[in-house]
Amino acid sequence: MTKENIRSFLVVILKIILIVFLVLTLNRVMMPKYISENQDGRITHEFYRSAGVDDVIFVGSSTVFSGINPQVLWESQGISSFVRANASQPMWISYYMVEDAVKCNKPDLVCIDTTFIKYGDDFVEEPSSRKAIDGMRLSGSKIQCIKASMGEDEKMLEYIIPLFRFHTRWKEFKWEDIEYAWYNKPVTINGFIEDNDVEAAADKELLYTADARDISPKNIEYLKKTIELCQNNGIKVFVFKMPSHSSNWNDDFDRQINDIVSGYGVDYLNFDSLNDDIGIDYNTDTPDGGSHLNSSGAYKFSVYLAKYLKDNYGLNDRRNDTSYTKYWNKTVKKF
């Protein structure tokens, strides 16, 4: 090869590198940063900071990231955990969150919230799906998660290269889009998002009013797949429903879920039945009339949950393990 050919080859390589760098930079600049709003869009990405010290993984919807505080689990029982939940997260996205977590570092226990299992197979909420999926590292799990979650009008390429989806965001551009293009500021506590608002529930007594109906085939499939994935990897599983004061549930959902999971020797618990034991007061412990827990409600539930998990699943207390304390000493926030 002549010097001229080598020079031409190097020029081509440099141009390719420059194009790739520009695309990656534009990707990072144009993607929403979720710093000052919609902070659940940061949960998936922030998981990779703690993947090496997560003994427990929680998956579910917004009731989970607002209602389970890993810092409280750590301080009360030495349980190291991460909440891989997003707004309106269906069972199929939860499955791939678990699959991805297992590939990073096999946890001891996976806890699956079923609050969102009541919705049908055709459920698609593109903004929420994007917030969950965009932060995933590129892998087979991410590709399959996209396939399982996309609506008819969505395109795979727009998930792989978000620039194609968010190229018009220049109209709402903020300084944080530049500031955090390459630096990812933590905004959650291992997936927990603080909410100190208070809006009391209107009704004192919780009555379920949702119509009885079968849980959809896709939800059943992915609940089973999640349990099987865990058990095939020697991971314990706990299936539960977050406590809330929402009437959008019925006792038959509990029966169906219990029938499914009991076949795997897995326990299911609807924490609505334990509100009094937990000490939740829906006059003060909810930001939205009972659908979610606020930070005070999350504290009460997390103290109770930590002891429940410790007693029933034999989790290790990691507070004397330097590989864990090093991480948590940096992560803990003062309340």
- pLDDT per residue as tens digits for the range 134-179: 889 999 999 999 999 988 888 888 888 776 676 566 566 676 766 6
- pTM of the full predicted structure? 0.88
Distance CA 111, CA 62 (A): 15
Cβ distance 247 to 210 under 8 Å? yes
Q: Please give the pLDDT value at position 122.
A: 82
- pLDDT per residue as tens digits for the range 278-322: 999 999 999 999 999 999 999 999 999 999 999 999 999 999 999
Q: Please give the pLDDT value at position 335.
A: 39
- Residue 305 is which amino acid? L
Q: Please give the pLDDT value at position 177.
A: 64
Q: Please give the pLDDT value at position 141.
A: 96
- The residue to which tokens 């009437």 are assigned: 247
Residue ranges per structural domain of the chain: 37-158+185-331
241/13: higher pLDDT: 241
Percent of the residues in the chain that have a pLDDT greater than 90, as a whole number: 66
- Residue 30 is which amino acid? M
Contacts of 91 by beta carbon, 8 Å cutoff, 6+ apart: 114, 116, 117, 218, 219, 222, 223, 226
Rg, the chain, Cα only: 22
- pLDDT per residue as tens digits for the range 196-217: 999 999 988 899 999 989 999 9
Q: What tokens does 119 get?
A: 């919705």
Q: Which DSSP letter does residue 262 get?
A: H
- pLDDT per residue as tens digits for the range 232-264: 999 999 999 999 999 999 999 999 999 999 999
**Residues 42-51, mean pLDDT to the nearest whole number:** 90
Topology annotation, domain 37-158+185-331:
Rossmann fold (3.40.50)
- pLDDT per residue as tens digits for the range 76-123: 999 999 999 999 999 999 999 999 999 999 999 999 999 999 998 888
